Chain A
Amino acid sequence: MTVATLRRATVLERSAPMRTAVELVLHEPEAAVAAKPGQFFQLGVDAQHTLLRRPYSIAWANPDLGRIGFIFSVVGAGSAWLGAREAGQPVELLGPLGNGFATPGPDRTAVCIAGGLGIAAFVGLVKGRDRLGRRTVVLLGARSSDWLLPADRLRGAEVRVATDDGSAGHTGRVTALLPRALHDDVELFMCGPNEMLLAVVRSCRELGFPLERVQVALETPMGCGIGTCLGCALPARGGGYLLACQDGPCVTADRLDWDRMDGI
């Protein structure tokens, strides 16, 4: 069980890695040491009329410098407030929370398939594998090139791109890039909109790629982040529900009931 800790972090810098997203770099040394790729924090928001914290996955953490990076797009009042934080201002963090990615063996290739801002969950994973000299392939899909995290943020990985409008890479869905990437030595990681996750699962089934070797970083509306509100339930294989905050956010895809995931 994660021991949730309230921490006061300070904004070191805010930037826009691409036109459609904000990157917030926070200073909180203990959290930077504790944070593992795939885990998340609940970020405190003080915007008018908002209530809950915002659950953001860790984009990357640098324990040596005590830094944590979050990459997100502004979609509502909470993300707008966070996206307007400036250097020197405090941000309250609860976490790190949940289970991060399971680390594949040294001889495995990690294939990370991301839709839109789902790529944020993989920045630290790619960096860590690059440091260890391990092979990583990133399949990055977005509606247009405006939404693509620049490839230099994914150094060390082979990045293959797909856009809906053809403004970069393959024209069409990112799942079209899957068949060529799924080899016997692959561990697949996925993060993105529900429709993309469903499409990846369909492809894996068609290609005979076992869902036990697919790790998904779950994203869903969340209340507390620590397992008490039961608000972030997602359908589990065999009946009942998993909690994204406590059982995830990273789980192997075989643990979910994808028929019931459809339409959520």
Chain B
Amino acid sequence: MVASGTFGYGFDAPQVDRSALGAMVTKGTTRAARTGNPPVRIAETASGMLNAIGLQNPGVDYVAQTYAPQWVEWDLPVIVNIAGESIEDYVEVARRLDGRPGVAGIELNISCPNVEAGLQFGVDARLAAQVTEAVRAATEMPLMVKLTPNVTDLVGIARAIEAAGADSISAVNTYLGMSIDVARRRPALANGLGGLSGPAIKPLALRAVWEVASAVEIPIVGVGGIFTAEDALEFLLAGAAAVQLGTVNYVRPDAARLVRDGIVAFAADSGLPDLGDIALRPRRKAVHV
């Protein structure tokens, strides 16, 4: 599948053959429209890029009323990534998407600051569980929760999210980083800090999947710096049931097809009928599919 924020709402890259995708995850969507952060919003770094887009999006009502009816026509499940500043925000966004034709599921972006608590939902097991539980109660759609890696106890947070009723976990979101424009003596991004993505974070993301996969029973969707079929296979071997492609979509609009074809070729060459079952460490029996 394609990762949140790297494919918009699916309408900007008409040349991409959607049949190469298992699913599309949309741009992070909030209760009200957001205009996003001031520029500069992105900066390339060694084998990676930083972004601080600021959740620019048209708001959940626009998404539900304008985009979702178009997705109904697509032969592709669309998972809407949702974000908020309070549990009430998340619940309201989920409620407005619940049961909407064209929306196949929800991915919860818990890397947003909680205005009341003053820290990100995703960095605290109790807050992460609270928001997961609240959204779980608001929707019967498949619920995937996206872990932020900028934490001390990733496994503990993953377990709390599982216990709170998530159907799956995507791991991981971007790593917090920064770049400084030496000539202008100021941070390269107007926001100062940004999220690092791309091949630079792949070993880190892989480790996160490796650790979380052996700690929870629900499926893990691996994400972080995957550019090639071999990268994707590493995540499957680490215990992921599926993968998301992110930054590579900016570089190669045909990335999903290349990666998928490479995985299919690997499966054929190695005589493995079921790549969902190639994890190096046995996963505990999955209770959800």
Which residues on A are within 8 Å of B, measured CB to CB?
1, 3-6, 44, 49-53, 94, 220-224, 226-235, 239-241, 246, 260, 264
Contacts and interface: CB of A to CB of B under 8 A. Distances in A.
Contact of A51 (B7, B14, B199, B254): B199
- Most B C-beta atoms less than 10 A away, residue of A94, A222, A233, A239: A233
What 3 pairs between A and B have smallest CB-CB spacing?
A231-B42, A224-B250, A227-B12
Given A52-B251, A229-B6, A4 B39 contact: no
Interface of B: 5-8, 11-15, 27, 35-36, 38-44, 46-49, 51, 53, 56, 190, 198-199, 247, 249-254
Contacts of A222: 42
B49 A52 contact: yes
Contact of B41 (A49, A53, A224, A230): A230
18 contacts: A1-B14, A4-B13, A6-B15, A51-B44, A51-B47, A51-B251, A52-B250, A52-B251, A221-B40, A221-B43, A223-B51, A223-B250, A229-B250, A232-B41, A233-B41, A233-B53, A241-B36, A264-B40
A228 B36 contact: no
Contacts of A260: 38
A51 B48 CA distance: 6
Contacts of A230: 5, 27, 36, 41, 53, 56
Contacts of A3: 14-15
A208 B61 CA distance: 42
Nearest to B43: A221
Contact of A221 (B5, B15, B42, B46): B42
A58 B48 CA distance: 26
Given A221-B43, A241-B35, A228 B56 contact: no
Contacts of B5: 229-230
A239 B35 contact: yes
Contacts of B247: 51
Nearest to B41: A231
Nearest to B247: A51
A229 B43 CA distance: 12
Nearest to A76: B44
Contacts of B27: 230
Contacts of A235: 38-39
Nearest to A5: B15
A224 B40 CA distance: 15
B183 to A, nearest CB: 11
Contacts of B198: 51
Given A220-B40, A241-B36, A264-B40, A229 B251 contact: no
A233 B56 contact: yes
B41 A246 contact: no
Name the residue in B5, B35, B44 with the highest tally of chain A Cβ atoms < 10 Å from its Cβ: B44
A235 B15 CA distance: 28
